[in-house]
Amino acid sequence: LDVSMDMWSYFHTCLVSIWLHRFYIYSAVALGISLWIVIQFTTTRTKRKQSCGSPSSPEGTSDKLGNGCGPRQAQRIHVAGVKIFYGSQTGTAKRFAKALAEAVFSLNLPVEIINMEDYDPEDGLVEETSSRNICVFLVATYTEGQPPESAVWFCKWLEEAANDFRVGKSFLQGLRYAVFGLGNSAYVDHYNTVARRMDRWLWMLSASRIMARAEGDCNVAQSKHGSIEADFEAWKDKFLTRLQALCRGEKKPCRGKCKKGKCKTSGKQSKESSDREHGMSEQDNTEAEELFETSSEEEAGDTDSVIDVEDLGNVMGHMKKAKVLLLEGVWHGIAVWHSAQFIPAGLGAPWGSEIVPAHGYKLIGSHSGVKLCRWTKSMLRGRGGCYKHTFYGIESHRCMEATPSLACANKCVFCWRHHTNPVGTEWRWRMDQPEQILQEALEKHQNMIRQFKGVSGVKAARLEEALAVKHCALSLVGEPIMYPHINQLVRLLHQQGISTFLVTNAQFPEEIRRLEPVTQLYVSVDASTKESLKRIDRPLFKDFWQRFLDSLKALAEK
Ligand SMILES: Cc1cc2nc3c(=O)[nH]c(=O)nc-3n(C[C@H](O)[C@H](O)[C@H](O)COP(=O)(O)O)c2cc1C
């Protein structure tokens, strides 16, 4: 008992002593922590100084280029690498691509040279929106302003993406690029057309120029630097300077043209000197002045994009990646034909049917149209189809997109050409027979398919299959149900083993009731209240709301 008592009193004494001296203990711990922090701070600084201190070491240069001083992975990467795309026929652009690649490589940056012929822009370019790469396009122009053969598909894809209203205008937002064109100013009307167009299409898709487009001129009498080689060298130097600035994370220089007076950057750059260095014509200067180092998206100042219902299949696949999904209405129509094309009842023959309207639509007779859907093209190339493929297994490459009525009873705000397409509440035009419409639609559709023969990436087997149409989307533009012989047309399609997908604008309830069975019937619901429907669809019918409700009832009764 005595022993345990002694132990207890000993511990008690210790605890009391600790308690009495607790402030000394706290102070000692605090001092220790402070010392540890100071030591850590000093050693980190010394390490940083050492890693930045030897500019001659390749590692040091690399860090400086990529991220400023400091360990690469700990810093923000401003430029991951450079991809140099070239479109060449006689090899000059390819040679320039190699020279540029060597220069970029000497800056310790990863670099890749890509022949446009071997590249799939559909998948590849979208990846560049988040890759932190800089994409350089060196492209030549040939006869009549056409691209070299090796760049035909690349240009075709880019043009279509830029002009297809269903492709979001921010499709390439985040892609940073520079364009150098190869041409000869002796071809006055088509001088460097391809580079100019390419630059424009990229810009339309919200890609960002890192510097103004430059144009090399083979015409030594006109070339700014005396030859196309010298033009390229001058541009290359400028490009490398800009590249290094980007690597350091520097922002673009301000030219005093920021929107709404909000200057996002600092510094100034002489436009004249920049233009001189790029060897640009008066006309180009104007364009570069407006578009230099911007994207269309930045200029528009909004990032919303509209997703078409046709894209639902694709959207489902990319749901996790999607940043902004604005599903606006069920279906977005696009009117493409001028009212003059519509022949009032009782008048003469329709206008020439070989006229190709804007945006790739082919006119059939005097009031119908057909177009190759982008999903048809996508599946031709062995890629995915539209939502009908995702949901129902419909093969998009065997689907024809057409309408028997380019006219409509609405003037929807989202319709591209509502001011030019014919509108009316009833059919009052000369009428083409359904047999003629179907025959011409199939012929023109097949002709458009045949144009893809030999195009890079297109699968021969799919192209063969595509010539035999299996499905018809009666949803191109206008209001297909307005066509008085719509039932006959649908019957003809079914007789040929072609399934039908019809989209109507919810203004013709009686016609919906009279409609014989189609494979799938869609009614567009563009708004949920009378007021908003009036504002969005701008219907011609005075009783548009009742018609809208009746259309939904008619759909329910089907
Ligand atoms: C048959 C032919 C047609 C050409 N047409 C044009 C033209 O329309 N516009 C233009 O700017 N340059 C034109 N050029 C010039 C080329 O674009 C120029 O020579 C360029 O450097 C060729 O680049 P490449 O060697 O990479 O193919 C043409 C050249 C040739 C041989």
Q: What string of DSSP letters covers 394-421?
A: --GGGEEEEES---BSB--TT-TTTTTS
Instruction: Identify the CATH number of the domain in which residue 451 sits.
Output: 3.20.20.70
**152 CA distance to ligand 1 middle (Å):** 14
Count the domains in the chain: 2
451 within some domain: yes
One domain for residues 504 and 550:
yes
Q: Whose CA is nearest to atom 28 of ligand 1?
A: 142
In a domain? residue 171: yes
Statement to judge: residues 294 and 351 lie in one domain: no
Claim to verify: residue 222 and residue 363 sit in the same structural domain: no
Instruction: Mark whether 296 and 382 lie in a shared domain.
Output: no
- In terms of Cβ atoms closer than 10 Å to its own Cβ (0-12, 13-18, 19+), residue 323 is exposed
Q: Is the pLDDT of residue 388 over 60?
A: yes
- Mean pLDDT for the stretch of residues 68-84: 70
Residue nearest to atom 21 of ligand 1 (CA): 182
The CATH number that applies at residue 120 is 3.40.50.360
Helix axes 228-247, 271-278, angle to 10 degrees: 130
> What pLDDT shows up at residue 260?
42
Q: What percent of the chain has pLDDT over 70?
A: 73
**Residue 138 CB contacts under 8 Å (≥ 6 apart), including other chains:** 84, 85, 86, 87, 88, 93, 96, 97, 100, 180, 182
* Mean pLDDT, range 180-198, rounded to an integer: 96
CA 397 – CA 390 distance, rounded (Å): 13
Q: What is the length of the chain?
A: 558
Pair (186, 278) in one structural domain: yes
Atom of ligand 1 nearest to the CA of 93: 26
The answer to whether residues 239 and 127 belong to one domain is: yes
CA-228 nearest atom, ligand 1: 21
Residues 331 and 279 in one domain: no
Percent of residues, the chain, with pLDDT higher than 90: 51
Domain membership flag for residue 495 = yes
Does residue 239 sit in the same domain as residue 359?
A: no
In a domain, 452, yes or no: yes
284 and 338 share one domain: no
Residue 80: closest CA among 207, 243, 242, 209: 243
Asked whether residue 194 falls in the same domain as residue 95, the answer is yes
* Location of structure tokens 């398919």: 449
Work out the average pLDDT over 142-166: 88
Decide if 358 is inside a domain.
yes
Is the Cβ–Cβ distance between 291 and 282 less than 8 Å? no
The pLDDT tens digits for 79-88 are 999 999 999 9
- The reply to whether 347 and 412 lie within a common domain is yes
Residues 292 and 333 in one domain: no
Q: How far from 89 is each of 125, 143, 147, 391, 455, CA to CA, in Å?
A: 22, 12, 9, 43, 17
* Residue 434 counted as domain residue: yes
Average pLDDT, integer, range 199-226? 95
Q: Which range of residues forms the domain containing residue 439?
A: 321-557
d(CA 197, CA 193): 6
3-class SS string, 231-257: HHHHHHHHHHHHHHHHHCCCCCCECCC
Q: Is 111 among the domain residues?
A: yes
**Residue 274 Cα to ligand 1 middle (Å):** 25
Residue 40, domain member (yes or no): no
**242-276 pLDDT tens trace:** 999 999 998 665 454 444 444 444 444 434 333 33
Task: Output the ligand 1 site: residues, CB below 6 A.
Answer: 88-93, 140-143, 145, 148, 182-184, 187, 190-192, 218, 228
